[in-house]
Amino acid sequence: MLAVDGVSKRFGGLMAVDSATLSLQPGGIIGLIGPNGAGKTTLFSMISGFVAPTDGRIRFEGTDITAEEPHRRAERGIGRTFQIVQPFAGLTVCENIAVGAYLRHAKRADATAKARDVARRVGLGSELDRPAGGLTVAGRKRLELARALATEPKLLLLDEVLAGLNPSEIRDIIPVIRGIRDEGVTILMIEHVMQAVMNLCERVYVLAQGRMIAEGPPAVVCADARVIEAYLGHGAAARLKAEGAAHG
């Protein structure tokens, strides 16, 4: 459904993303991992339309969307969350989510009903009338998720929704993400919490220094020498193997 074809982004002298290619079939949860500064968020921003690629094409459901505005992509069914949460701080939780719901529901009553429904699904049902600025970190992450869900996306881009949460909060939110997948939404998620990646993702892409270096099931990718070296440095894979042999 999504085809990212040789997409690059150059910021001055820095090649943030260097001809990355990625393709998603409908359904499932796909991970996008990589060390800090690998270009994951830049790639997300290009898929959602906030950053224009220097090179390459992006197609969604067969249509070329490379030049489309973010709001048009949202209409097509690409939803996203932000790594740094962006709540409408002055509005209540319900009003925040309703902005997303208004995309497919023109009437206030319908949009509000949809917002309440989504809030319950992500576990914000009891916080509907609270100002969004007063939510905890976990609450704000849920709100990001809820707003994106309210737009009824076909493809949901989650940018580190688990970052900053404690282990019990992560445990609480994982079934929510799985529930979204079960309803037929395709999910592409950037994540550093490897436990969650192993747990949730069927397939992962690994981005390092702007290049796509590996792709496959999480267990296979994590054993890949190139991936280990991208995270831990040159020669790390060989050292780990030697240590493993010594202990084994």
Partner 1 sequence: MTARDLIPIAVLTLLAALLPLVVTSSPVLNFLVFMLIVALGAQGWNILGGFGGQFSFGHAAFFGTGAYVTAILQVRYGVNAWAGLVLATAAGAAVGWVIGFLSFRSGLRGSYFALVTLAFAEVFRILANAASFTGGAAGLLIKLDVRAVNLQFDDRAVFYWLVLAFVAAVLLLTRWIQRSRFGAQLVAVRENEDAAKALGVNSLTVKLRAIALSGGVTALSGCLYAQYFLYIDANIAYGSWISVELLLAPIIGGVGTVFGPVVGALTLHGLGEVAKQFAGRIPGIDLIVFGGVLVLAVAFARGGILGLLERLRDRGRGMVTRGPKEVSHAGR
Neighbours of 159 (CB within 10 A): 22
Binding residue (CB under 8 A) for partner 1 from 42, 102, 208, 221: 102
Say which residue the tokens 């969650």 belong to.
196
Q: What mask of x and - would describe binding to partner 1 in positions 31 to 70, judged by CB under 8 A?
A: -----------------x-x------------------xx
Name beta bridge partners: 17: 9
Binding residue (CB under 8 A) for partner 1 from 6, 37, 125, 134: 134
CB of 138 to partner 1, least distance (A): 17
Stretch that binds partner 1, among 94-102, 179-187, 214-222, 235-243 (CB under 8 A): 94-102
Residue nearer to partner 1 on the CB measure, 148 or 206:
148
Residue 147, CB-side half-sphere exposure with 13 Å CA sphere: 23
Provide the residue count of the chain: 248
CB of 185 to partner 1, least distance (A): 16
Instruction: Write out the binding residues for partner 1, residues 149-208 only, by CB under 8 A.
Output: 150-151
- In the 8-state DSSP scheme, what is residue 15? E
> Are the C-beta atoms of 43 and 119 separated by less than 8 Å?
no
Stretch that binds partner 1, among 14-22, 105-113, 161-169, 231-239 (CB under 8 A): 105-113
Binding residue (CB under 8 A) for partner 1 from 74, 118, 177, 212: 74
Binding residue (CB under 8 A) for partner 1 from 31, 39, 53, 87: 87
Neighbours of 240 (CB within 10 A): 15
CB of 77 to partner 1, least distance (A): 10
> Are the C-beta atoms of 114 and 101 separated by less than 8 Å?
yes
For residue 155, give Cα distances in angstroms to 41, 63, 179, 186.
16, 14, 14, 5
Residue 217, H or E segment: none
Neighbours of 72 (CB within 10 A): 12
> Are the C-beta atoms of 122 and 148 separated by less than 8 Å?
no
CB of 236 to partner 1, least distance (A): 37
Contact status: 91 vs partner 1 (CB under 8 A): yes
Contact status: 98 vs partner 1 (CB under 8 A): yes
Point out which residues bind partner 1 (CB under 8 A).
48, 50, 69-71, 74-75, 79-80, 82, 86-91, 95, 98-100, 102-103, 106-108, 111, 134, 147-148, 150-151
